[in-house]
Homo-oligomer: A and B are copies of this chain.
């Protein structure tokens, strides 16, 4: 049996997982990401957590998923504001430390791969609604990258009240339907600064502002999903991420109307693990393309 290690480095938490080649979860762990502590500290924690797994299991390959922008081909985190990481050669650092092939990939792309492993649709899209909004596109069973920046679903046109986005565009989806948007809209309406989790709980017990905000968010997302369908006509659009896991979002009436346009939408049931799963899928593909055979681990190949 072969084993694969994956890490999903996010702005608020970092998850790691060990899977076997049949995608069974052998281990799952989480730590808080503290961007203020800097890159070195998080890397140390990760080395520690990964180290124990690498000692115990013969790991055949490994991958790290991270918010972009990344230089995937060189395995370098270019400039990830949410983490405060700049030009960190993640792939080289980990490969040297553990003697195993490490892949670096965009977390939303990994999420798309993870859903692909489970759903197995030829053409599909994955939208992650979290602090920000991102996504990934699978075309003919492969990740579609365009020129490297495809599936920027957070920056689709959403209409609205002429808010200016950091990307330069006006009225991007992310400004109205991300976790950040939920929090700032609740503040705008009530003067209270609460976390998305708290606002979701308030919506669950009938808080009027909270209910209305999640309804609106679902409406914006529904329009974006229909836009994705009009362009890509995929077999399925999967929606994941923290906001999408909130009950008031899932129960919003706005999703009912998507069905009218022949769009097949599903909520992710991976509870955030689709990124780890997709990272495993990616590293296995990557090793296959590099011709790392079924009977040798990357450790052995690197030693040759």
Residues of B within 8 A of A123 (CB): 146-147
Measured CA separation A203–B240 after assembly (Å): 47
17 A-B pairs besides A146-B233, A155-B230 with CB distance below 8 A are: A144-B232, A145-B233, A146-B234, A147-B235, A152-B231, A152-B233, A153-B230, A153-B231, A156-B230, A157-B157, A157-B223, A157-B226, A167-B261, A169-B261, A227-B227, A228-B231, A231-B232
Measured CA separation A137–B152 after assembly (Å): 17
Residues of B within 8 A of A36 (CB): none
Residues of B within 8 A of A148 (CB): 233
Residue in A152, A156, A226, A230 whose Cβ sees the most chain B Cβ within 10 Å = A230
Measured CA separation A157–B158 after assembly (Å): 8
A234 and B147 within 8 A (CB): yes
Question: What string of 1s and 0s marks CB contacts (under 8 Å) between A1-20 and chain B?
Answer: 00000000000000000000
Question: What string of 1s and 0s marks CB contacts (under 8 Å) between A204-219 and chain B?
Answer: 0000000000000000
Residues of B within 8 A of A150 (CB): 231-233
- A168 touches B (CB below 8 Å): yes
- A139 touches B (CB below 8 Å): yes
B261 and A152 within 8 A (CB): no
Residues of B within 8 A of A153 (CB): 230-231
Question: What string of 1s and 0s marks CB contacts (under 8 Å) between A223-265 and chain B?
Answer: 1101110111111000000000000000000000000110000
Q: Which of B139, B227, B232 contacts A157 (CB 8 A)?
A: B227
* A168-B261, A260-B168 known; A152-B230 Cβ under 8 A: yes
- A149 touches B (CB below 8 Å): yes
Residues of B within 8 A of A168 (CB): 260-261
Q: Which residue of B lies closest to A149 (CB)?
A: B233
Measured CA separation A226–B158 after assembly (Å): 12
Residues of B within 8 A of A146 (CB): 123, 232-234
Q: Which of B139, B159, B169, B231 contacts A226 (CB 8 A)?
A: B169
Top 10 A-B residue pairs of the complex, sorted by shortest distance between their CB atoms: A146-B233, A150-B233, A159-B159, A152-B230, A149-B233, A155-B230, A147-B233, A157-B223, A231-B231, A156-B227
In the assembled complex, the CB of A111 is this many whole angstroms from the nearest CB of chain B, namely: 16
* A157-B159, A157-B226 known; A231-B137 Cβ under 8 A: yes
- A151 touches B (CB below 8 Å): yes
What would 21 A/B residue contacts be, using CB atoms closer than 8 Å? A123-B147, A137-B231, A139-B144, A146-B232, A147-B233, A147-B235, A150-B233, A151-B231, A151-B233, A152-B233, A153-B230, A156-B231, A157-B157, A157-B224, A157-B226, A159-B159, A167-B261, A168-B260, A169-B261, A231-B231, A231-B232
